[in-house]
Amino acid sequence: MGDIKMSALSNILKILVGLVILVIGVVWYTGPQIAVGNYVLFGWYGDFIVLLKGTFGLFLLFVGLIIAWMGYDDYKMDQEMAKEGKNESE
Give the pLDDT confidence of 42-83 residue by residue, as tens digits. 666 677 778 888 888 889 999 999 999 999 999 988 888 888
Phi and psi at residue 40, in whole multiples of 5°?
-95, 120
pTM of the full structure:
0.47
How many Cβ atoms from other residues are within 10 Å of residue 78's Cβ? 10
Between residues 61 and 41, which one has the greater pLDDT? 61
Mention every residue, 6+ apart, whose C-beta is less than 8 A from residue 35.
Answer: 41
Q: Read out DSSP for 39-68?
A: EESS-SHHHHHHHHHHHHHHHHHHHHHHHH
Crossing angle of helices 45-89 and 2-30, rounded to 10°:
120
Question: Would you list the domain boundaries of the chain?
Answer: 1-42, 44-90
